[in-house]
Amino acid sequence: MKTRDETHDNVGEERTTSLKSSLDGTTAIVTGASSGIGEVIAKRFAEDGANVVICSREQNDVDSVAEQIEESGGRAVAVECDVTNREGVEALVTTTVDEFGSVDTLINNAGTRFMTDFDAISEDEWKTVIDVNLHGTYHCTQAAGEHLKKGGGSVINIGLSSAASQRGTPGLSHYSAAKAAVINLTTTLAYEWASDNVRVNCIAPGFVATPAVEAGLGFSAAEINRNDVQRSIALPEEIADIAQFLAGPSSSHIVGETITVDGVPRIEEPPEF
């Protein structure tokens, strides 16, 4: 007979295993996966045993990512897909189901933005930003919906950035509007699809040390101390941590939430008189 302590230890081990539960055998679509957050999420899911289908507007950009995943022992398929094109999105979903039999997780990561003051935004620029960030999420989620509902899946929207989507950012009014809409879509769709056992959540990062950020700000991931709490820029791996958690059973009671990942919070300070 096991002692109380031994039983407690076993329960603890089971709980630890549950918290780290694998995505083994599931299938995930990751859009905008040629670099940055999408690439890191795709590699993380593959390491955890998931089949991953990755897409970008240029085939060459995702081929190399898929090759790296395969060389590491994972399973990946690279697809050229513009998320603003409904036929292309439906082909992406069809390829996924034909190759792996299901869609269990959809990561809506594809996005674009331009720094432009509102008065200078052309109609074409406004439409482009809204089309990729909002309509792209609509296309992918609706196209994958039938398959996500079959086995009880998970949709994870990447609402870059928390500052733009929740507080607004000068020069990014179109981007802020699109991402705020994605956050509201997350809440609404989570309610509508809960009865189909599909969980819809959103991750809203602030600045993340991706190659694009490094090119623009000259700040690289190598300069970040992950153990330092007092910082305001994240590593892509930290966003992947949350995506992995939201896709797995350990987050089963998290539905319709937007998780802000923005480092040290921006607080409201008393005004100076």
Distance between CA atoms of 177 and 262, rounded to whole angstroms? Answer: 19
Q: Give the lowest-confidence range in 14-18, 184-188, 246-250, 266-270.
A: 14-18
Q: Give the lowest-confidence range in 73-82, 91-100, 106-115, 156-165.
A: 156-165
pLDDT for 193 beyond 50: yes
Share of the chain above pLDDT 70, in %: 84
Q: Are 226 and 240 in contact (CB under 8 A)?
A: no
- What pLDDT is recorded for position 19? 47
Q: Give the lowest-confidence range in 84-88, 134-138, 227-231, 252-256.
A: 227-231
Higher pLDDT, residue 190 or 17: 190
- What pLDDT is recorded for position 18? 44
Q: Are 111 and 81 in contact (CB under 8 A)?
A: no
171: left (phi > 0), else alpha (psi -120 to 50), else beta? left
Q: Which amino acid is at 15?
A: R
Distance between CA atoms of 252 and 248, rounded to whole angstroms? Answer: 7
Task: Tell me the domains of the chain and their CATH numbers.
Answer: 24-261 (3.40.50.720)
- What pLDDT is recorded for position 200? 98
Distance between CA atoms of 178 and 135, rounded to whole angstroms? Answer: 9
pLDDT for 11 beyond 50: no
pLDDT for 259 beyond 50: yes
- What pLDDT is recorded for position 173? 87
Instruction: Give φ, ψ of 164 to 5 degrees.
Output: -70, -45
Q: Are 135 and 89 in contact (CB under 8 A)?
A: no
Closest CA to 194 of 186, 184, 202, 183: 186
- What pLDDT is recorded for position 251? 95
Active site residues: 175
Mean pLDDT over 205-227 rounds to 70
Confidence of residue 72 (pLDDT cuts 50, 70, 90): very high
Distance between CA atoms of 261 and 10, rounded to whole angstroms? Answer: 33
pLDDT per position as a tens digit, 134-160: 999 999 999 999 999 998 999 999 976
pLDDT for 221 beyond 70: no
pLDDT for 4 beyond 50: no
- What pLDDT is recorded for position 10? 47
Mean pLDDT over 250-269 rounds to 87
Mean pLDDT over 29-53 rounds to 96
Distance between CA atoms of 128 and 172, rounded to whole angstroms? Answer: 13
Mean pLDDT over 242-249 rounds to 96
The residue written with tokens 């990014």 in the block is 172
